[in-house]
């Protein structure tokens, strides 16, 4: 078990190194443009070259990357070109904001999707059609539109919650809940649509299996057959979909963050990219990849625990 | 007969089926109209999409030359709307074709050549690790916001899904007979991949295309909403952002692009769904756990017996919507403690009859007529709750395939305990003790150990003993065993039959033994009902039927056993009944 986790973590680290290397190489052709932007009207071929030398961007790419990596493994991700703040602190802070929204959304997604998916699969008929229609609509409406309509109804019209801005959980839990209310709902609709379809599909397959009939012939109550047995067997694939939705949300929250002026991970990445703030871009890549590695490992461990055949501990 | 024979027929009917599906026709028409509108856009408007004029800033809809009005830069909203269609269509084309090109070719090669697959897997899981939208943003310095370059990268990001889809299909289809045949006949690998494998996997890939296009359009508008890309590229996203800024003064500016974007994605998804239905058949209906609809009781003096089935008919809906009977008018009866063999070949309706008695038929099955009485009590109209009580205590069931009838996620003990508690309302501790005693009774050497095992840790024979233990746990008056030995090794078969016979004597149960095997019947049954094509063709005592089979079909079944000196365990060939009928004439 420990060996398995260690092996997966090591392969995750290798993956992180690969991803940052590829990102770095993809960014390399735009170094001149970035330096030029930074110099603004003072940019001449001479000043650009001078600036590049000053920033160390004129060195061979391999040297630059190894230099960055050797600092990164010691936890030093450098400083922003523009603000001078340490990258690690800045990224951690913005990631915290996004995670506080995304994690709440994920928890609600699980509750709502399992309820709807199980209901649709076990009741069938009209309930099933209604859930399928809801799920399709959730896929269709760009969450941008949902966000704007919600802002209009809840914040502008009835003034129940603030329209934009963000209060951190540590500062004031009540205000935090208010400030993430609309963003969470806007993100929730799309992720519920995806997960509900998955839960419904797997539950329908599970409920057709022989062991379900067997349990029914023993007089086991329907509730236990559906919720204890079929749902447990359907949980694995649903969990995998949930992990995909988490990864998608890391970047996908960007649009919501922009609409609501929330200083999150996505909008921070966006601003840094527009400016060409390479240390921050690299830092964001590192954090994103490590998060994905941790999430995938967690999903594998939970799936292993759910499925006795794949159990590794 | 060739494996490819049905394919052309299916392809021809695909277009036909799509044309008959109103959803497909509507979605496709909307898409087509939108695309054409985008193409002929310049003809419909008097201003170019980037032509701005100070006079027309926020012009009202209907202003001459500005049908939908002007936006905050004084550009014609209609012209920009129509030009945005083209941007979306180009995005969809680029994103989809890159994803398909990379995904399908890698999937074909990776699925066909085992040696290459490892590398391909690694590469695509690497791509999947990039959080999509975030990567597009991180690479802004590289793409400079150009939507075409962005869509090329997005296409690569979409490719792992296509790769996995193709790879799975290819691995599945690679060992099919028609591919083998092509290989044997000397076709080269690339040619086989192109001609045969690609042909077989096209269905799901076509369906995926609709969704890839939708995703590309969504991401392109999302990025342009954020202000990525030059202002001279008209896009729904940019228009929505502009309209959002004017939400309070000119709400319509926000509505037009949202509506158009919504319509495009909606028709793509609906068309994709219709394609899926047409290519793969409609999605499976969910299981309804609800009682079979009650039947009027047959009146008159009903025959007595523990179990009386009269004129039972079961039908399933066909794809065309009619009902097709699989059991038509079956009558049988069983006295307490008696053993009845229900014999017939596969597909004769034996198992359906058994499921009807237990009331566990699949949801789509319809009991069209008849009566099933246990101890004089009609069970076809019983509420599910009452039926459940009956199932736990009076009727029990032993299945054909032991492994699939155990829940893989729970231990053997858990499942026995749950059944015992449901049927007899025992405490956890009592149920555990009884379960262990039962495991010992059915001949399991180490009950404690087996109790703690998961189904995949025990053998098929053990699993069948466990299921028998679960069935007899509540001392039922009727045990229905559906081919209880068919899936087992020959050596275990006899032991299981002995166990059933012993338990039957011990508990005084009636046994309804469903089988196709006369050897088993001869071994254990008092009476026999022979079933064929949904009907009982002959009923009698075991001795009578063996000595003087009245129906030619019974004779034929018996010949299969007696002529060969060995007990057949597979069903007789399906063509034989036809001969038997000819003889009869």
Please give the Cα distance from A103 to B434 (Å, whole number): 45
- Measuring CA to CA, which residue among B83, B85, B99 is closest to residue B213? B99
The predicted pLDDT at position B432 comes to 94
Calculate the average pLDDT of chain A.
85
Shared domain check, B338 and B189: no
Digit-coded pLDDT (tens) for A224-250: 999 999 999 988 888 888 888 888 888
Residues of A in contact with B407 (CB under 8 A): 211, 215, 229, 233
DSSP state of B313: E
The predicted pLDDT at position A36 comes to 79
Assign residue B392 the CATH number of its domain. Answer: 3.40.50.300
Digit-coded pLDDT (tens) for B476-494: 999 999 988 887 888 888 8
Name the residue facing A27 among B142, B384, B397 (closest C-beta).
Answer: B142
User: Is the model's pLDDT at B3 over the cut of 50?
Assistant: no
- Which of A74-78, B57-61, B482-486 shows the lowest mean pLDDT across its residues? B57-61
Question: What is the domain count for chain B?
Answer: 2
Residues of A in contact with B240 (CB under 8 A): 144-145
Shared domain check, B333 and B210: no
Cβ distance A288 to B273 less than 8 Å, yes or no, reads no
Cβ distance A269 to B134 less than 8 Å, yes or no, reads yes
Shared domain check, B421 and B275: no
Shared domain check, B273 and B311: no
Quote the minimal CA–CA distance from B132 to chain A in Å: 7
Contact assessment for residue A16 and residue A290, using Cβ atoms and an 8 Å cutoff: yes
Calculate the average pLDDT of chain B.
81
- Which of A147-156, A294-303, B257-266, B521-530 shows the lowest mean pLDDT across its residues? A147-156
Residue A152 sits at the chain B interface (C-beta within 8 Å)? yes
For chain A positions 169-208, those within 8 Å of chain B (CB to CB) are 200-201, 203-205, 207-208
Helix (H, G, I), strand (E, B) or coil at B531: strand
Shared domain check, B254 and B127: yes
Residues of B in contact with A15 (CB under 8 A): 126, 129
At residue B168 the predicted structure's pLDDT band, cuts being 50, 70 and 90, is confident
Digit-coded pLDDT (tens) for A195-224: 998 899 889 889 989 999 999 999 888 899
The sign of the torsion formed by the CA atoms of B514, B516, B519, B522 equals positive
The rounded radius of gyration (Å) of the Cα atoms in chain B is 33
User: Is the model's pLDDT at B289 over the cut of 50?
Assistant: no
At residue A140 the predicted structure's pLDDT band, cuts being 50, 70 and 90, is low
CA B418 vs CA A214, A217, A218, B389, B442: distances in Å: 12, 12, 9, 14, 18
- Which of A86-90, A175-179, B270-274 shows the lowest mean pLDDT across its residues? B270-274
Q: Which domain holds residue B260?
A: 31-279
| Most confident stretch, A243-257, B89-103, B157-171 | B89-103
Name the residue facing B287 among A124, A142, A259 (closest C-beta).
Answer: A124
Q: What is the DSSP string of B350-418?
A: HHHHHHHHHT---TT-EEEEEEEEETTEE-TT--HHHHHHHHHHTEEEE-S-TGGGS-TTS-HHHHHHH
Shared domain check, B355 and B254: no
ipTM value of the model?
0.79
| Residue of chain A nearest B267, judged by CA positions | A140
Assigned domain for B25 exists: no
Please give the Cα distance from B296 to B483 (Å, whole number): 31
At residue B574 the predicted structure's pLDDT band, cuts being 50, 70 and 90, is very low
CATH number for the A93-272 domain, one of 3.30.1780.10, 1.10.3720.10, 1.10.357.10, 3.40.718.10? 1.10.3720.10
Assigned domain for B115 exists: yes
Give me the sheet containing B535-541, strands edge to edge.
B395-398, B478-482, B510-515, B339-343, B527-532, B535-541
Please give the Cα distance from A252 to A99 (Å, whole number): 12
Please give the Cα distance from A266 to B524 (Å, whole number): 72
**What is the distance of C-alpha A48 from the center of its chain?**
37
Name the residue facing A307 among B132, B404, B409 (closest C-beta).
Answer: B409
Cβ distance B284 to A204 less than 8 Å, yes or no, reads yes
Name the residue facing A210 among B269, B287, B401 (closest C-beta).
Answer: B401
Interhelix angle B147-174/B114-129, nearest 10 degrees: 140
Residues of B in contact with A247 (CB under 8 A): 131
Shared domain check, B384 and B269: no
Quote the minimal CA–CA distance from A175 to chain B in Å: 26
Shared domain check, B217 and B345: no
Shared domain check, B111 and B230: yes
User: Is the model's pLDDT at B4 over the cut of 70?
Assistant: no
Contact assessment for residue B211 and residue B272, using Cβ atoms and an 8 Å cutoff: yes
Residues of B in contact with A128 (CB under 8 A): 286
- φ/ψ of residue B540, rounded to 5: -175, 180
Quote the minimal CA–CA distance from B559 to chain A in Å: 33
Cβ distance B405 to A213 less than 8 Å, yes or no, reads yes
Residues of B in contact with A218 (CB under 8 A): 391-392, 396, 418-419, 422-423, 470-471
For chain A positions 279-298, those within 8 Å of chain B (CB to CB) are 281, 284-285, 288-289, 292-293
For chain A positions 203-222, those within 8 Å of chain B (CB to CB) are 203-205, 207-211, 213-222
Domain map of chain A by residue range? 2-72, 93-272
- Which of A17-31, A175-189, B173-187, B276-290 shows the lowest mean pLDDT across its residues? B276-290
Mean pLDDT of B564-570: 49
Assigned domain for B130 exists: yes
Please give the Cα distance from B534 to B349 (Å, whole number): 5
Digit-coded pLDDT (tens) for B112-157: 887 888 888 888 877 776 677 788 888 887 888 788 999 999 999 8
Which of B229, B261, B279 represents a domain boundary (last residue)? B279
Shared domain check, B269 and B313: no
The predicted pLDDT at position B581 comes to 40
Cβ distance B360 to A216 less than 8 Å, yes or no, reads yes
User: Is the model's pLDDT at A168 over the cut of 70?
Assistant: yes
Assign residue B97 the CATH number of its domain. Answer: 1.10.3720.10
User: Is the model's pLDDT at B217 over the cut of 50?
Assistant: yes
Assigned domain for B487 exists: yes
Shared domain check, B389 and B274: no
Mean pLDDT of B270-299: 58
- Measuring CA to CA, which residue among A144, A136, A151 is closest to residue A192? A136
Q: Which comes out higher in pLDDT, residue A112 or B44?
A: A112
State the Cα torsion A55-A287-A198-B136 to the nearest 10°: -10
Count chain A–chain B contacts defined by CB atoms under 8 A: 212
Picking from A142, A250, A296 by the largest number of B CB atoms within 10 A of its own CB, the best residue to mutate is A142
The predicted pLDDT at position B111 comes to 81
Digit-coded pLDDT (tens) for B332-353: 999 998 999 998 888 888 899 9
Please give the Cα distance from A135 to A153 (Å, whole number): 22
Digit-coded pLDDT (tens) for B232-256: 888 888 888 888 777 777 777 878 8
């Amino acid at each position: 078990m420990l060996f398995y986790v260690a092996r997966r973590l090591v392969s995750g680290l290798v993956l992180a190194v690969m991803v940052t290397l590829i990102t770095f190489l993809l960014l390399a052709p735009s170094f001149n443009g970035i330096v030029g932007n930074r110099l603004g009207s003072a940019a001449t071929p001479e000043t650009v070259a001078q600036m590049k030398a000053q920033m160390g961007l004129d060195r061979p790419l391999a040297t630059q990357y190894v230099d960055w990596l050797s600092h990164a493994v010691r936890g030093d991700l450098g400083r922003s070109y523009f603000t001078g703040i340490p990258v690690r602190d800045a990224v951690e802070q913005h990631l915290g904001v996004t995670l506080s929204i995304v994690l709440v959304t994920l928890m609600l997604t699980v509750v709502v999707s399992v309820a709807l998916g199980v209901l649709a699969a076990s009741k069938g008929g009209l309930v099933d059609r209604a859930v399928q229609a809801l799920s399709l609509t959730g896929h269709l409406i760009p969450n941008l539109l949902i966000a704007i309509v919600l802002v209009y109804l809840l914040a502008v019209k009835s003034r129940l919650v603030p329209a934009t801005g963000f209060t951190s959980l540590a500062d004031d839990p009540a205000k935090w809940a208010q400030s993430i209310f609309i963003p969470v709902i806007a993100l929730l609709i799309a992720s519920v649509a995806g997960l509900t379809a998955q839960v419904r599909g797997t539950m329908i397959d599970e409920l057709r299996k022989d062991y379900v009939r067997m349990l029914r012939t023993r007089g086991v109550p329907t509730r236990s057959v559906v919720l204890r047995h079929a749902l447990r067997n359907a949980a694995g694939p649903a969990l995998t979909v949930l992990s995909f939705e988490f990864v998608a949300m890391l970047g996908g929250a960007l649009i919501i963050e922009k609409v609501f002026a929330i200083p999150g991970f996505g909008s921070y990445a966006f601003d840094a990219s527009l400016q060409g703030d390479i240390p921050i871009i690299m830092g964001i890549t590192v954090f994103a990849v490590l998060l994905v590695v941790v999430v995938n490992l967690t999903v594998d461990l939970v799936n292993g625990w759910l499925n006795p055949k794949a159990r590794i501990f | 007969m060739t494996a490819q024979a049905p394919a052309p027929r299916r392809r021809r009917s695909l277009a036909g089926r799509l044309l008959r599906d109103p959803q497909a026709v509507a979605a496709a028409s909307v898409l087509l109209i939108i695309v054409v509108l985008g193409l002929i856009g310049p003809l419909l408007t008097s201003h170019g999409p980037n032509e701005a004029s100070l006079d027309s800033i926020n012009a009202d809809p209907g202003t001459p030359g500005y049908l939908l009005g002007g936006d905050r830069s004084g550009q014609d909203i209609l012209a920009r709307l129509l030009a945005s269609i083209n941007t979306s269509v180009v995005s969809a084309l680029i994103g989809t074709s890159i994803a398909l090109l990379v995904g399908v070719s890698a999937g074909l090669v990776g699925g066909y050549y085992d040696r290459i697959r490892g590398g391909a897997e690694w590469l695509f899981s690497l791509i999947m690790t990039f959080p999509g939208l975030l990567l597009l943003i991180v690479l802004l310095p590289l793409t400079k916001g150009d939507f075409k370059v962005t869509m090329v990268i997005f296409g690569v990001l979409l490719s792992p899904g296509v790769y996995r889809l193709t790879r799975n299909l290819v691995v599945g289809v690679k060992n099919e007979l028609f591919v083998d045949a092509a290989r044997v006949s000397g076709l080269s690998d690339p040619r086989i991949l192109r001609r045969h494998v690609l042909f077989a996997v096209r269905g799901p890939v076509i369906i995926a295309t609709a969704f890839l296009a939708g995703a590309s359009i969504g991401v392109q508008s999302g990025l342009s909403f954020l202000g990525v890309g030059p202002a001279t590229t008209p896009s729904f996203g940019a228009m929505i952002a502009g309209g959002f800024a004017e939400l309070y003064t000119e709400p319509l500016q926000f509505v037009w692009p949202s509506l158009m974007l919504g319509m495009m994605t909606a028709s793509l998804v609906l068309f994709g769904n219709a394609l899926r239905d047409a290519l793969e058949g409609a999605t499976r209906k969910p299981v309804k756990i609800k009682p079979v609809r009650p039947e009027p009781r047959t009146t008159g003096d009903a025959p007595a017996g523990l179990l009386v089935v009269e004129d039972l008919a079961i039908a399933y809906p066909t794809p065309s919507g009619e009902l097709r009977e699989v059991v038509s008018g079956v009558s049988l009866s069983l006295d307490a403690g008696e053993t009845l063999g229900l014999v017939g070949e596969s597909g004769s309706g034996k198992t359906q009859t058994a499921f009807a008695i237990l009331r566990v038929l699949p949801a789509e099955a319809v009991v069209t007529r008849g009566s099933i009485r246990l101890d004089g009590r009609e069970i076809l109209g019983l509420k599910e709750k009452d039926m459940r009580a009956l199932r736990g205590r009076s009727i029990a069931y032993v299945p054909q395939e032991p492994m699939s009838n155990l829940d893989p996620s729970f231990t053997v003990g858990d499942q026995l305990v749950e059944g015992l508690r449901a049927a007899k309302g025992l405490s956890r501790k009592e149920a555990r003790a009884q379960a262990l005693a039962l495991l010992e009774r059915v001949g399991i050497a180490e009950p404690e150990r087996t109790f703690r095992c998961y189904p995949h840790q025990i053998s098929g024979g053990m699993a069948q003993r466990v299921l028998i233990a679960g069935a007899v746990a509540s001392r039922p008056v009727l045990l229905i065993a559906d081919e209880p030995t068919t899936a087992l090794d020959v050596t275990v078969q006899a032991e299981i039959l002995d166990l059933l016979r012993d338990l039957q004597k011990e508990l005084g149960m009636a046994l309804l033994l469903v089988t196709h095997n006369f050897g088993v019947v001869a071994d254990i049954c008092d009476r026999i009902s022979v079933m064929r094509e949904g009907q009982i063709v002959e009923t009698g005592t075991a001795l009578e039927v063996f000595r003087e089979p009245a129906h030619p079909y019974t004779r034929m079944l018996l010949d299969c056993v007696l002529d060969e000196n060995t007990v057949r365990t597979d069903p007789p060939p399906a063509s034989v009944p036809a001969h038997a009928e000819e003889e009869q004439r």
